[in-house]
Amino acid sequence: MSGSYSGYVSTEQYAETLLVTMLNFFICFFALFMNTLVIITIQKSPHFVNSYGTLSLNHSVLNMLSLLVYFLWVTPTTYTQSVSTSTTTVLGKIIGQLHLLFLFSMIYSHLSLSLNRFASLLHPTRTRSIFSHHMCIFLNISTWILGFLHVIPLFWYQDCHITYDPATWQWVISTSKLCATYKLLVLQYLSVIVSTISFLVNLFTWAKVSAETIRKHPVETKLLKGEFWRSFGFLIAVLTSGVLSGWVEERWQKYVVLCVIWQVYHLVDGLVILLLHFHRKLLAERPILDPNHHTPSFIHVEHLHSLPHRSPDFNRNHYVSKVDTY
């Protein structure tokens, strides 16, 4: 079927397709809304006027772009059942390539965020030199370059490609020998290994950080807590789509472990940031745009000897804070 339903479609088939379409639409809609609020929070909250904020902004953009693939391509092609358009055209193969580009870039984005938390909490005196403003920009660009390198094999569209199949509601990869090797080494082994490293770095940082550091630097600790759960959620999504998907056969199960899991991950990733850092009064604040804004390396609460830092109106004059900036 192409463009719209044609031929005989049973009521049950139509109802299933409509249900999948609605699931995709609403999950993506709320995830896009939440990640929009995340970007606003990162730009306006003093908690993110630091190297972690620069890296997080890049990660949130990747979240948004990945969600747009589902919202603008997966959802409509599922509803119209445009199988030939989605699976055989060059456009469909390019969309699949972009889908993996954003995914691999997020893998390395999580790694950079985890290393940032490691340095900020366990080696605070080196943080400003290691994660300078220029280094953060370099790391953000590097995540995109690494993601691009991972999808180079997909430029051989005839031999190796990944596309979304509206009939089965899942991403499918071609069965050529090249793609079989690519799927095993890159989509499964490499993705799981790097994602596991990111999570273990956060786990190690959390285990090693002292109670004194947690007491004195609550916001830095809160940033670590957020990154810990975000990297854990990403690892679960990678394991589910890369490993568990090989053990399930039923169409609904495949749909959940290959598509729903990633949409839910993007939603939860944004939700973690909002639960820890968002306040509705931030919406009335102006973005903190100065990359040279200088404050010392940690956020301190209730330490009056700390240098004053611009904070949102709802907290102004109630506490002062210090952030590790460039």
Residue found by looking up tokens 């995340």 in the block: 38
pLDDT more than 70, % of the chain: 84
User: Once rounded to an integer, what is the mean pLDDT over residues 211-227?
Assistant: 84
* Half-sphere exposure in the Cβ direction for 239 (13 Å, CA): 10
Question: Residues with Cβ < 8 Å from 160, sequence gap 6 or more?
Answer: 153, 154, 173, 174, 176, 178, 179, 182
Q: How confident is the model at residue 176 (pLDDT cuts 50, 70, 90)?
A: confident
What does pLDDT average to over the chain?
84
User: Once rounded to an integer, what is the mean pLDDT over residues 130-142?
Assistant: 95
The candidate with the shortest Cα–Cα distance to 96, out of 40, 160, 42, 12, is 160
Report the range of poorest mean pLDDT among 12-26, 165-179, 300-314: 300-314
One-letter amino acid of 256: V
pLDDT for 205 equals 94
pLDDT for 291 equals 47
pTM above 0.85, yes or no: no
Strand partners, 172: 163
Strand partners, 124: none
Report the range of poorest mean pLDDT among 8-17, 149-158, 266-275: 8-17
Other CB atoms within 10 A of residue 304 CB: 8
Residues 68-125 have pLDDT tens digits of: 999 999 999 999 887 777 777 889 999 999 999 999 999 999 999 999 999 989 888 8
Whether the predicted pLDDT of 314 surpasses 70:
no
Q: What are phi and psi of 164, to 5 degrees?
A: -95, 125
Residue found by looking up tokens 């997966």 in the block: 74
Q: Residue 171 belongs to what H/E stretch?
A: strand 170-173
User: Once rounded to an integer, what is the mean pLDDT over residues 146-174?
Assistant: 92
The candidate with the shortest Cα–Cα distance to 154, out of 95, 109, 82, 103, is 95
Q: What whole-number distance in Å separates Cα of residue 272 and Cα of residue 253? A: 26
- Residue-by-residue DSSP string for 220-260: HHHHHHHHHHHHHHHHHHHHHHHTGGGG--SHHHHHIIIII
pLDDT for 217 equals 76
pLDDT for 13 equals 85
For the chain, list the domains and their CATH numbers.
11-295 (1.20.1070.10)
